[in-house]
Structure 1
């Protein structure tokens, strides 16, 4: 049985959410993001014509498109509408993966004998637009890589079907930049030896690619040839990551407790980024010396940023720790996870902060997770 994998992507999601609530924003260059030192979280197609792109510094974006309207963004509205779309899709398909706040994979394998996979997907997209008021594009193919590339080519508000025989003709003329795992550095490296199209990449010997870019060389070759066995992972809102510390001696040392919580937040945020997760809920847990246990939680915009999560965790601790009593345990948990790479936290990040995280993660990947961190999270007494 051939696989039938769909990739669905909400078109310029943050922009579409704003226009859903304010039709006066239709048709104008629109930028969603932070202040003057912030970065672009999303932008309209009208702004993209001037060269504006996501993650670009706001100052640069406004130099390229001075007439653009900048909106800080409504984190809560975006999260709520994402949940609405998730529920619409989830109740209509047998298997769905939420890849990020605004994109989804569906496994419709075997559904063609009942209704037709393309027609089924088309009706789901129409239901999203009708019930949530948001435009959505999709592509249907035999695996996740091809369907995701297809959605990108179909936008805006596009629909595409790429059957098995059409995969190579579809991929071959495209730029290697269209392959999800090809970033700027890989593109520049391959471009220097004349590899700019997927067709050229697909004909490269696997061993040569592995020598050039390491273990990912084989995976890149497979994607260039339209091969991707990765399954659609069932979506669950209940996924979480957590850590906790039970003290050898009960304590009420506030400096030590806050240092510990800050360090926990940094380590868990690093784990989020490594596993490509964003969290929407922070939960703090404390246990007093008499074994009374209390928790407090807070919803946040989807993020994996240390400074945001540490601040929220410390604020929750200040609110939940209400007795003048020693503690025997402190725990921190991030829940409501979705797959994504540093997305909604673009609203608060500056370009300096984004650069800092990239550098810190590189050092941690190379020398270990304890190799670098904020001073507030280290125990200098060790």
Structure 2
């Protein structure tokens, strides 16, 4: 879908079409960030995650609309219901993007004509624009869908890969994270074509099995099927631990909650999702279990955010009895690209600094393992064990292990 949140808003306010419009966490200057914007606004330099005050400076006539996530979720359900009218093999990958396998489509129609029909139906029934990529596999279809926006239809055949795909910068390749672009470029991989033609042994040595998988895709090979059930593979992400002995010690509880928050944050980062809900599980010495949950107005994914909310739930839920087990789980997951946090005027500077610290920790953990960087005195034992294990294997911090 093209500028999905903004497009949904315009379907309710068609008089704003053709004007620079943005959806923001707060419509007041300096009190929020841009969630998404129309192409008219983007032409003026407005970008996702840009502070509202900066967007207004670049585009003084920018029209700001408050976000309405329930409206967007409803639109998402409706659009996927429409797509399932063409084929049962529909795989949602986010709130506004998905794959369709139309190999067994019953009508005798060219794929391009089918794509046109889908575009027309979405426009007629929901007043929403989209771009469609047509290709023999999921990777190429995804890359093709990004080549013409808005309202584009692109066919990417395997024989066209050298002309259409290989000249693109490595940063534009689906599956290459923003944090790893510099690493690829330092290895001399500047374009998708560089990756496709690179020495396989070098890719394996520097980037492991994931790098070899990406190299295959750069050459047009992707055997993943369209899986309608993949969206349900993880509805929640959590972690729990049984304590060495039953305890009422507040310091031990807080230390355990910090370790659990670190683990959950690490797993959220691996899935590239954030959570709109958090739940604390407490199992007492007599095996009685208490669950306490909280819905969040802003999605969380950092260790500090998860810990603070879990600690708050703990203080509300604990009945003063000895604890046997603690667990933290997150639910109502959303892709990070669709998650945002409204930055308050008085805490924005702290939020930005905290975010930068968390991003740095996340990068180190992704490279060297979850226990490479841990927080607080409570993590000393696990950190010591991690160092001993690496020493026994003869590994060091300057050479990450292959996946």
Q: In the TM superposition, what are the counterparts of 1:13-24 in structure 2 within 5 Å?
A: 13-23=4-14
**1:216 & 1:298 partners in 2: Cα distance?**
36
Q: Which stretch of structure 1 is more off in the superposition, 146-155 or 359-368?
A: 359-368
Q: Tell me the secondary structure at the aligned position of residue 98 of structure 2.
A: strand
Q: Is the 8 A contact 1:238 1:335 kept in 2?
A: no
Gap regions ≥5 residues in structure 2: 383-403
1:188–1:257 distance in 2 versus 1, CA, 3 Å: closer
Aligned to 1:293: 289
The match for 1:32 is 23
Corresponding residue to 1:305 among 302, 305, 310: 302
- Which stretch of the first structure deviates more once superposed, 103-112 or 308-317? 308-317
Q: What is residue 327 of structure 1 aligned with on the other side?
A: 323
Alpha-carbon distance in 1 for matches of 2:81, 2:357: 36
Which residue of the partner structure matches residue 396 of structure 2? none
2:272 aligns to what? 276
Residues 37-71 of structure 1: CA deviation (Å, up to 9, x unaligned): 86543222112112333344555444433432444
Kindly indicate whether residue 339 of structure 2 is the aligned counterpart of residue 344 of structure 1: yes
Q: Alpha carbons of 1:355 and 1:130: their partners in 2 closer, same or farther (altered >3 Å)?
A: farther
Structure 1 pair 93–288 and aligned structure 2 pair: CA distance change class (3 A): farther
Provide the residue aligned with 2:101 in structure 1. Answer: 107
1:237 matched to 2:232? The reply is yes
User: 1:154 is matched with which residue?
Assistant: 148
Q: What is the TM-score when the length of structure 2 is the normalising length?
A: 0.73
- 2:370 maps to which residue? 369
Q: Mapping of 1:170-185 within 5 angstroms?
A: 170-172=164-166, 174-182=168-176
| Residue 95 (structure 1) aligned with residue 89 (structure 2) | yes
Shift of the 316–195 alpha-carbon distance from structure 1 to 2, 3 Å rule, reads closer
Match runs of 1:184-195 below 5 Å? none
**Aligned CA-pair RMSD:** 3.9
Gap change, CA 1:327 and 1:150, over 3 Å in 2: same
TM-score computed with the length of structure 1 as normaliser: 0.76
8 Å CA contact 1:140, 1:161 repeated in 2: yes
In 2, Cα distance between equivalents of 1:257 and 1:195? 47
In 2, distance between residues paired with 1:308 and 1:82? Answer: 28
Tell whether 2:53 aligns with 1:54.
no
Give a deviation string over 1:320-362, Cα, whole Å, max 9, x none. x264443333222223445x34531354585434422221112
State the secondary structure of the residue aligned to 2:232.
coil
Name whichever of 40-49 and 186-195 sits farther off. 186-195
Structure 2 counterpart SS, 1:111: coil
Distance 1:187 1:378, change over 3 A: closer
User: Are 1:304 and 1:345, in contact at CA under 8 Å, matched by a contact in 2?
Assistant: no
Residues in 2 aligned to 1:192 and 1:254: alpha-carbon distance in whole angstroms: 47
Deviation by residue 1:264-304 (Cα, 9 ceiling, x = unmatched): 23321211112333444433322334433233444445553
- Which deviates more from structure 2 when the two are superposed, residues 124-133 or residues 239-248? 124-133
Q: Distance in 2 between matches of 1:176 and 1:379?
A: 37
Distance change (3 Å), C-alpha of 1:265 and 1:155: same
Cα distance change on mapping 1:262 and 1:182 into 2, 3 Å? closer
Map of 1:81 onto structure 2:
75
Structure 2 CA distance for partners of 1:21 and 1:193, relative to 1, 3 Å: same
CA contact (8 A) 1:143 1:229 kept: yes
Contact persistence 2:93–2:231 (CA under 8 A): no
Secondary structure at the counterpart of residue 99 of structure 1: strand
1:6 corresponds in structure 2 to: none
Distance 1:142 1:33, change over 3 A: same
Which residues of structure 1 form unaligned runs of 5+? 1-9
